[in-house]
Each structure stands twice: as structure tokens, then as C-alpha cells.
């Protein structure tokens, strides 16, 4: 690797780490931010904003985080194919870093009223748009600098960035919490991770200013062969749109659910289902990331040898086949008392099927008020394993525990009575001594926490298998003239929508069935669908010449003076 190539990789990767760091901060601190901007109490002790307004803010914040990303891919992808890779992802990082810093200094709703959440939503939208343009630019830029036969290895450094950004955000948050204390962090300490981003932004901009434009794009620009209408060419022509659709369903969708399951859903499962405290859960995830992240580089390098498809689709297949035993092992180790209760305590919900809703609630704004919904959501929040039996039409839902205690879901004190009843039956209380707790960051050298770290590291290795080669695979599927636009959209639809909706969808599936592992069927089914579609319809691309005029025809061989120059 030459000095110039190392510089390209470092500049692209480091900037993208910082951009993912900025994006993850909001997700990690969503509860604290909501308390400061959406649910602030007035002088009379009542919320400043009514419930409808709070729900609108929550919906917009969620949409900005995940649903806006594909629009950023369109805006900045088009810009990148029109004016160049370097300047476009320089713009994206400035937008992302500045937006994040402003969140850190933004007055709360207590100070400036409704202007605070409105400004926050605008900043969040800018973050989502910028992130939508960042990844495609970084991946394209590195790939167009990489020599033939090493694109998987070179672009794998970009793939580390998302996990690196998550890891960095967790470390900064944990460090700030330690320094400020729980109360100080809730009041003002949460701003520190956002303010730190201005330093990261300065470093990133300085590095990227030293970079040269991609040689492939520069050559096209000089010859006047670059696309004049990238969006129309990429998605308005079926020959190109078809490739984008196949990339989405035959590569990215499966990669996205494996990626989110191995990192975000594992964190959700530890905290919300297994009742591990947030400090311990974040540390366990951080150690899993640290131990497993080397796989990004390894599998990127391996994909140059054996191909992109065998590794990406193999990772999807292995993940789908092993998720259930791995998450059950995680349950048995993280909270043995809760795991035993799942096996031994029979809980039944008897309800009219027409009274039961599918509780898909990604932004927390929906209200499920039927008696069946009340019973199911209460049991799901308590991490109680149950099954559902049909009752006559019009019946009020009832919960039976070990064929003894029967509770009516319409009882005004149902939630309190249910908690007491399941505890009396043998479900562990909040003070359960068997649940894993880490006393300090290095408290992993004992059986319980050690096994959990190894399981989480294995889940991260699955992530590295599907994610390490994906940038190279996407870059190679599309011609240079529309590459930035074409690869960005399927990537961000897959990761923003298929992946981003995973926790909410999985929780709704758990509540629907009463099985704490049932939510895993969501990533399993999508990963298996990707294996099938990818195997039969997505071509192998590792030997393609991405500088050729028509990469859609891999049999076409032409002299390539540009590659020799690069």
C-alpha cells in the first residue's frame, strides 16, 4: 500500500467514524434528550407540550434518524456524480459535525419553548441527510483509488467506521457518566459528547482538505463523459434500476438485519428483555465490538481472494441458523433466574382474537388500549414468557399464572397486581442477584460476563462477514458515472429501513406471541431471503474492472490505461 493510498483510506475512514459517532449519539441519548426537549414540565408540574405535540416530535425525530437517510443518498449521491466525490463528502461531514455541535449548545424547551424541539428536529434531519451521502462517497472514493484485486481489503477499512463510531460514542458516554455522575449527566453532562464533536469535525475537515479527487471521476470529467442526470440514469433506466433492486434484496437487506441484530438488537435484548443495567449492557457490547471488529479487515481481504458473495451470503446463512441458540445462551448467562422462570412458569393470556393488535410502535406514539393489548404489553415489558388462548368474542382479556392466579386486564390496578403476581410465582425481582453486573470496565474475566462477551463477539463477527465486503460489492455493481448515486440508495434503504425498524418490529412480534425469542424470526427470514435472491440473481463482482465503460457486461474486455496510471 502506497503512502497516497494509506492517506486516502485514513482520511475517508476517520471522517466516517466521526460521522457515525455523531449519528449514534442521538440514539444512545434519546431518553435524556426527550426529557430535555419533548417532555419538559412547566411551573405547574404539567408537561409544556400536550401528548399529540410530543408524539409528533417523537415521530419526526425517528424519521430523521432512519427514514431520511435514503433521501440524503439521493441528494448527495447525485451531487457526487455531478461535481465529484471529494467535495461532496466534505460537505456531508461539515453538515453532520456542525449539526451535532449545535445540539450540544441548544437551549432546552424549558428556556425557549417550542422553538427548542423544532430546531432539534431540523438538526436531526440534517444529520440524517448528511449520513445518507457520507457512506457512498467514502466507499466510492476509496474503491476508485484501490488497485485491481485489492478493493475488498481497501474498502473494508470504511466498513469498520460504523462500528468504530458506535464504539467511540459508547466510550465517550460512559466516560462522561463516570465523571459527572448520574444526576449531573441527566442535567448537563449529556451535552459533553455532542460538544466533543467539534474537535472531531476540525480534524476530519483538515484531513479531507488534503485529499485529491478520485482519478476515475477526474478522468470522466476531463473527457466530458460523466452523467448529466445521475438520478434519471440510475433509476429511470431499467437496466440500472434492476441492479439497484437486486443489490437491495440480494445483498443489503440481509446485511442490514445481521448488522443491527449483532449490535443494536443485542443491546436491546440485554437491557429490555434480560433486564441487564445499561452500564453493564453497554460495556458488554463495547467488549464484543472490540474483540470482533478485526473481522471487517479480514473478510474484506478474503473477499478479494474468494469473492464477495460467498462471504456476505455465508454470513447471512450462518447467522440465521445460529441466532436462536446464541440468544438463548445469552439469556441463560445474563439472567439465569429469569431464564429459569421462562422454562418453568406457565403464563396464559385468554383473549378475544379481535381484541388483540400487532403492537408495532417504532416511535412510541401509538396507544393500544384494548384489554388484550394491555395484558400483552404489560407482560412483554416484564419479560414474561406466555402463550395466548382464544376466548369467546367480547371477552375481557385475562392472565392466568400457573393455573392459579387469574387477573382481569381491565382492572385499574392490573399492572401493579400483575407485577406482584409474577414475582410471587417465581419471576425474579429487579434486585435479582443472578443478573450480570459489571463492577468496572475490566470485570469480564469470570464465567458469566466472559461467556457473554464471547457470544457478543461472535455476533459481531457475523456482522463483519456481511459488512466487510459489502462496499466493494456495491461499488463493483455500478458504472463510474452513476456509482455514487446507485450504491447509496439501496444501502440506506436497506440499513435505514430494514435494519432501523428491526428493534420495534421484533418487540411487536414478542408481544404478539409471548415468546421472548420470537422477534429473531424477523432477521432470520430476511437473511435467508437474501441468501436465496443473492445466490441466484446477484453476480459475483470481485474480478470486474470498475473503470471499464460498461461494467454490466463483465465479459467485455478493453484496454485500461487509467488502471495502469492508478
pLDDT of 556 reads 38
559 and 419 co-located in one domain: no
Does 535 have pLDDT greater than 80? Answer: yes
pLDDT score of 521: 96
Q: Work out the pLDDT band at 446, boundaries 50, 70, 90.
A: very high
Question: Are 417 and 444 members of one domain?
Answer: no
Nearest to 463 by CA among 196, 220, 162, 211: 162
Instruction: Classify residue 433: in a domain, yes or no.
Output: no
CA–CA dist 543, 13 (Å, integer):
24
* Within a domain: 339: no
**Would you say residue 366 has pLDDT above 70?**
no
CA distance 541 to 51: 51
The answer as to whether 431 is a domain residue is no
Domain assignment of residue 538, yes or no: yes
**Overall average pLDDT of the 195-221 stretch:** 81
Note whether 99 and 23 are same-domain residues. Answer: yes
167 and 315 fall within a common domain: yes
Q: Are residues 223 and 246 in the same domain?
A: yes
pLDDT tens, position by position, 482-522:
888 888 889 888 887 888 788 878 888 888 888 999 999 99
pLDDT number for residue 550: 44
Q: Kindly indicate the confidence band of residue 363, based on its pLDDT and cuts at 50, 70 and 90.
A: low
Confidence band for 242, pLDDT divided at 50, 70 and 90: very high
CATH of the domain at 355: 3.40.30
Residue-level pLDDT at 315: 96
* Residue 348 counted as domain residue: yes
Q: Is the domain of 330 the same as that of 351? A: no
Which has the higher per-residue pLDDT, 262 or 36? Answer: 262
- Phi first, then psi: give them for residue 231, nearest 5 degrees: -65, -45
Return the pLDDT at 566: 45
| Secondary structure (H, E, C), 328-356 | HHHHHHHCHHHHHHHHHCCEEEEECHHHC
How does the average pLDDT of the chain come out, rounded? Answer: 85
pLDDT band for position 47 (50/70/90)? Answer: confident
Percent of the chain beyond pLDDT 70?
Answer: 91
**CA distances (Å), origin 112, targets 35, 46, 106, 119, 403:** 15, 17, 10, 11, 55
pLDDT score of 158: 85
Reply yes or no on whether the pLDDT at 367 is more than 50.
yes
Return contacts of 50-57, CB within 8 angstroms, 24+ apart.
53/114, 55/363, 55/365, 56/365, 57/117, 57/121
C-alpha cell read off for 36: 430535555
In whole angstroms, how far apart are CA 44 and each of 50, 111, 215, 485, 491? 14, 15, 63, 52, 47
From 393, 425, 457, the end of a domain falls on 425
Give the CA-trace dihedral at 256, 261, 265, 270, to 10 degrees: -160
Whether residue 166 is found in the same domain as residue 129: yes
pLDDT for the residue 553 = 40
For residue 179, the domain's CATH number is 1.20.1250.20
Q: Is the pLDDT at 163 greater than 70, yes or no?
A: yes
Give the residue-averaged pLDDT of 55-79: 76
323, 349: one domain: no
- Which of 6-20, 190-204, 426-440, 518-532 bottoms out in mean pLDDT, i.e. has the lowest? 6-20
Q: Does a structural domain hold residue 228? A: yes
Give yes or no for a contact between 479 and 329, defined as CB atoms under 8 angstroms apart. no
Which structural domain range is residue 18 located in?
Answer: 3-334+439-565
At residue 40 the predicted structure's pLDDT band, cuts being 50, 70 and 90, is: low
Provide the pLDDT for residue 564. Answer: 45
The least confident of 143-147, 165-169, 212-216 is 212-216
Q: How many domains does the chain have?
A: 2
**Domain check: are 263 and 202 in the same one?**
yes
Checking if the pLDDT of 558 tops 60, the result is no
pLDDT of residue 385: 92
Higher pLDDT, 152 or 5: 152
User: Mean pLDDT lowest for which of 48-62, 236-250, 289-303, 316-330?
Assistant: 48-62
pLDDT at 563: 45
Lowest average pLDDT, out of 22-31, 205-214, 232-241, 507-516, goes to 22-31
Query: What average pLDDT does range 308-314 have in this prediction?
Result: 96
3-state secondary structure 386-421: CEEEECCCCCCCEEEECCCEEEECCCCCHHHHHHHH
Same domain, 215 and 255: yes
Tell me if 430 is assigned to some domain: no
Instruction: Kindly state whether residues 379 and 279 are assigned to the same domain.
Output: no
Is residue 434 situated within a structural domain? no
**Of 425, 447, 478, the domain-final residue:** 425
Question: Which of the residue ranges 11-15, 222-226, 375-379, 397-401 would you say has the lowest mean pLDDT?
Answer: 222-226
pLDDT of residue 270: 92
Q: Pick from 399, 425, 451: which residue ends a domain?
A: 425
In angstroms, rounded to a whole number, what is the distance separating the alpha carbons of residues 41 and 110?
Answer: 8
Mean pLDDT along residues 31-39: 78
Q: Out of 42-51, 67-76, 195-204, pick the least confident.
A: 42-51
Question: Same structural domain for residues 357 and 458?
Answer: no
Amino acid at each position: 500500500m502506497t503512502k497516497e493510498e494509506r492517506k486516502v483510506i485514513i482520511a475517508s475512514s476517520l471522517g466516517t467514524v466521526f460521522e457515525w459517532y455523531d449519528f449514534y449519539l442521538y440514539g444512545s441519548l434519546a431518553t435524556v434528550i426527550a426529557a430535555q426537549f419533548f417532555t419538559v414540565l412547566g411551573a405547574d408540574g404539567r408537561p409544556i407540550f400536550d401528548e399529540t405535540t410530543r408524539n409528533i416530535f417523537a415521530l419526526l425525530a425517528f424519521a430523521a434518524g432512519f427514514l431520511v437517510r435514503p433521501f440524503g443518498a439521493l441528494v448527495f449521491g447525485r451531487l457526487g456524480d455531478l461535481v465529484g466525490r471529494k467535495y461532496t463528502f466534505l460537505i456531508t461531514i461539515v453538515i453532520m459535525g456542525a449539526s451535532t455541535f449545535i445540539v450540544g449548545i441548544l437551549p432546552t424547551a424549558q428556556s425557549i419553548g417550542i422553538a427548542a424541539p423544532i430546531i432539534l428536529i431540523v438538526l436531526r434531519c440534517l444529520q440524517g441527510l448528511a449520513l445518507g451521502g457520507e457512506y457512498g462517497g467514502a466507499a466510492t472514493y476509496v474503491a476508485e483509488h484501490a488497485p485491481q484485486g485489492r478493493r475488498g481489503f481497501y474498502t473494508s477499512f470504511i466498513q469498520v467506521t460504523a462500528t468504530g463510531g458506535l464504539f467511540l460514542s459508547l466510550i465517550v458516554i460512559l466516560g462522561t457518566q463516570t465523571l459527572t455522575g448520574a444526576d449531573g449527566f441527566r442535567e448537563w453532562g449529556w451535552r459533553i459528547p455532542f460538544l466533543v464533536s467539534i474537535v472531531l469535525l476540525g480534524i476530519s475537515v483538515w484531513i479531507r482538505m488534503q485529499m485529491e479527487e478520485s482519478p476515475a471521476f477526474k478522468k470522466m470529467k476531463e473527457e466530458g463523459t460523466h452523467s448529466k442526470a445521475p438520478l434519471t440514469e440510475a433509476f429511470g433506466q431499467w437496466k440500472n434500476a434492476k441492479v439497484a433492486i437486486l443489490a437491495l434484496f440480494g445483498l443489503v437487506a440481509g446485511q442490514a438485519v445481521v448488522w443491527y441484530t449483532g449490535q443494536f438488537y443485542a443491546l436491546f435484548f440485554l437491557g429490555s428483555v434480560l433486564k441487564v443495567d445499561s452500564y453493564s449492557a453497554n460495556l458488554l457490547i463495547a467488549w464484543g465490538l472490540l474483540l470482533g471488529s478485526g473481522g471487517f479487515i479480514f473478510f474484506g481481504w478474503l473477499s478479494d481472494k474468494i469473492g464477495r458473495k460467498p462471504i456476505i451470503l455465508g454470513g447471512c446463512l450462518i447467522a440465521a441458523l445460529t441466532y436462536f441458540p446464541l440468544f438463548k445462551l445469552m439469556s441463560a448467562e445474563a439472567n439465569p433466574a429469569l431464564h429459569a422462570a421462562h422454562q418453568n412458569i406457565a403464563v396464559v393470556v385468554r383473549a378475544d382474537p379481535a381484541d388483540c393488535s400487532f403492537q408495532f410502535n417504532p416511535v412510541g406514539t401509538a396507544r393500544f388500549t384494548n384489554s388484550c393489548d394491555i395484558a400483552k404489553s404489560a407482560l412483554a415489558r416484564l419479560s414474561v414468557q406466555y402463550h395466548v388462548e382464544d376466548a369467546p368474542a367480547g371477552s375481557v382479556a385475562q392472565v392466568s399464572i400457573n393455573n392459579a392466579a387469574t387477573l382481569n386486564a381491565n382492572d385499574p390496578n392490573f399492572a401493579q397486581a400483575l407485577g406482584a403476581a409474577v414475582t410471587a410465582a417465581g419471576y425474579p425481582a429487579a434486585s435479582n442477584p443472578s443478573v450480570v453486573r459489571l463492577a468496572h470496565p475490566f470485570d469480564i474475566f469470570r464465567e458469566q460476563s466472559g461467556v457473554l462477551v464471547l457470544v457478543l463477539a461472535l455476533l459481531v463477527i457475523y456482522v463483519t462477514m456481511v459488512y466487510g465486503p459489502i462496499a466493494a460489492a456495491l461499488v463493483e455493481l455500478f458504472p463510474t458515472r452513476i456509482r455514487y448515486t446507485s450504491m447509496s440508495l439501496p444501502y440506506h434503504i436497506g440499513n435505514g429501513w430494514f435494519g432501523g425498524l428491526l428493534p420495534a418490529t421484533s418487540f411487536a412480534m414478542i408481544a404478539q406471541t409471548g415468546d421472548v425469542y420470537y422477534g429473531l424470526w424477523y432477521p432470520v427470514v430476511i437473511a435467508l431471503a437474501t441468501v436465496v435472491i443473492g445466490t441466484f440473481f446477484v453476480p459475483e463482482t470481485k474480478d470486474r474492472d470498475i473503470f471499464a465503460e460498461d461494467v454490466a457486461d463483465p465479459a467485455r474486455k478493453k484496454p485500461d490505461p487509467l488502471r495502469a496510471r492508478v
